[in-house]
């Protein structure tokens, strides 16, 4: 017998229009952390099914909750087939804590957390997860599973220089990030292990330039932190927007069937939702037309496209619709990705069955 979760998700998918299915594959940034008219248009017109807080806000639990509630009120038959939204934020700790103010603890950096016992990390993350839940945030773009080698922090712009790693070896990073992940999940928040296959040894920051890793191999020991997080129950895995010259020099990881299909799905055994790092406004992909970014990510095996801006998101949706209309094989890829997203939503009580 299929599980109730699978049966429900399958039923919802079957009742959706193709445009509604495509909309489930997008995570739209909320400009200035508000639900504005442009975001509402994307939800109603392009059927976008998930959103995220892109900026740091000090509005506190009540202020964030009011936005989250307004988003969930957009879950109508016409917009999303009554499917509710993943509402996400970057709530790692340290410099990367998007939601602050009354009701949110000040979270220390992952590097500080990595110096605690795993039990202490779990206890704190349980509290932080409950705070997210109270604010209506049901998905966290955390924890960071990347491993920064000892002494490399200052050279590693996206992770080490910002103290975003839990440790300088795979065992420490993996055990502490997994403790965070499991406690967040138990609090009811979906968690995102990131940034596969690791940003800890790249040069360059993908927010500002192209990042390159000339070290990591397809069976690298530094991947073990990700394996621990996946085995520990990660709901989502975020793919890095970087080039790994010893794995797939021809593609950014987010566009690499080898990274997503062979490594993450195959070797790592990950069956959840593969989410991109921001494909909407990141400098590293600026030279690629927005629509091509979404199609390349989905074709490589990705499921959920993160896009910071409404303009890029709209262009991506139109491109995916066009590709689906012309390519039945790609339509199958899209439908399978939508089903994986719906199964994760079912697990969070976001489906109307």
- Structural domain range at position 232: 22-347
pLDDT digits (tens, 9 = 90+) for 63-121: 999 999 999 999 999 999 999 999 999 999 999 999 999 999 999 999 999 999 999 99
Beta strands 242-244 and 248-252 are antiparallel
Strand partners, 55: none
Does 1 fall in a domain? Answer: no
Tell me what pLDDT residue 85 has. 99
CA distance readout (Å), 173 to 9, 111, 145, 149, 199: 34, 9, 6, 11, 13
Collapsing DSSP to helix, strand or coil, 266 comes out as: helix
Tokens 């998905």 locate to 139
Q: Where are the alpha helices (DSSP H) in 135-169?
A: none
Does 43 fall in a domain? Answer: yes
Does 9 fall in a domain? Answer: no
pLDDT by residue, tens only, the chain of 353 residues:
456 656 999 999 999 999 999 999 999 999 999 999 999 999 999 999 999 999 999 999 999 999 999 999 999 999 999 999 999 999 999 999 999 999 999 999 999 999 999 999 999 999 999 999 999 999 999 999 999 999 999 999 999 999 999 999 999 999 999 999 999 999 999 999 999 999 999 987 666 677 999 999 999 999 999 999 999 999 999 999 999 999 999 999 999 999 999 999 999 999 999 999 999 978 889 899 999 999 999 999 999 999 999 999 999 999 999 999 999 999 999 999 999 999 999 999 999 99
The residue among 197, 305, 300, 308 whose CA lies nearest residue 258 is 300
Does 8 fall in a domain? Answer: no
Does 163 fall in a domain? Answer: yes
Supply the CATH number for residue 152's domain: 3.20.20.300
User: Beta-strand (E) ranges in 232-338?
Assistant: 236-239, 242-244, 248-252, 273-276, 305-307
User: What's the number of domains the chain is made of?
Assistant: 1
Does 266 fall in a domain? Answer: yes
Does 7 fall in a domain? Answer: no
Radius of gyration over alpha carbons of the chain, in Å?
19
Per DSSP, 262 falls in state I
């Amino acid at each position: 017998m299929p599980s109730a979760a699978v049966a429900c998700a399958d039923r919802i998918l079957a009742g959706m229009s193709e445009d509604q299915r495509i909309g489930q594959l997008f995570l739209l940034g909320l400009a200035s952390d508000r639900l504005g008219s442009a975001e509402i248009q994307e939800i109603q017109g392009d059927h976008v099914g998930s959103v995220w807080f892109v900026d740091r806000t000090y509005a506190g639990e009540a202020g964030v909750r009011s936005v989250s509630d307004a988003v969930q009120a957009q879950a109508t038959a016409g917009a999303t087939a009554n499917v509710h939204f993943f509402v996400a934020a970057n709530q790692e700790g340290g410099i990367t804590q998007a939601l602050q103010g009354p009701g949110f603890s000040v979270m220390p950096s992952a590097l500080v957390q990595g110096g605690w016992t795993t039990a202490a990390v779990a206890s704190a993350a349980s509290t932080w997860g409950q705070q997210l839940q109270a604010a209506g945030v049901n998905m966290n773009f955390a924890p960071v599973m990347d491993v920064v080698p000892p002494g490399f922090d200052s050279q590693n712009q996206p992770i080490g220089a910002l103290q975003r790693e839990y440790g300088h070896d795979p065992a420490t990073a993996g055990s502490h990030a997994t403790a965070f992940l499991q406690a967040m999940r138990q609090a009811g928040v979906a968690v995102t292990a990131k940034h596969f296959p690791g940003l800890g040894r790249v040069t360059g920051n993908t927010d500002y330039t192209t990042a390159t890793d000339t070290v990591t191999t397809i069976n690298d020991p530094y991947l073990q932190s990700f394996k621990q997080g996946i085995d520990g129950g990660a709901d989502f895995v975020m793919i890095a927007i970087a080039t790994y010259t010893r794995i797939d020099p021809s593609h950014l990881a987010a566009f690499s069937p080898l990274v997503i299909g062979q490594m993450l799905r195959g070797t790592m055994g990950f069956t959840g939702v593969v989410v991109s790092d921001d494909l909407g406004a990141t400098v590293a992909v600026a030279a690629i037309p927005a629509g091509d970014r979404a199609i390349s990510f989905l074709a490589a095996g990705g499921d959920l496209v993160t896009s910071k801006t409404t303009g890029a998101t709209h262009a991506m949706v139109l491109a995916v619709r066009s590709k689906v209309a012309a390519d039945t094989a790609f339509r199958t890829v899209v439908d399978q990705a939508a089903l994986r997203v719906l199964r994760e939503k079912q697990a969070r009580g976001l489906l109307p069955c």
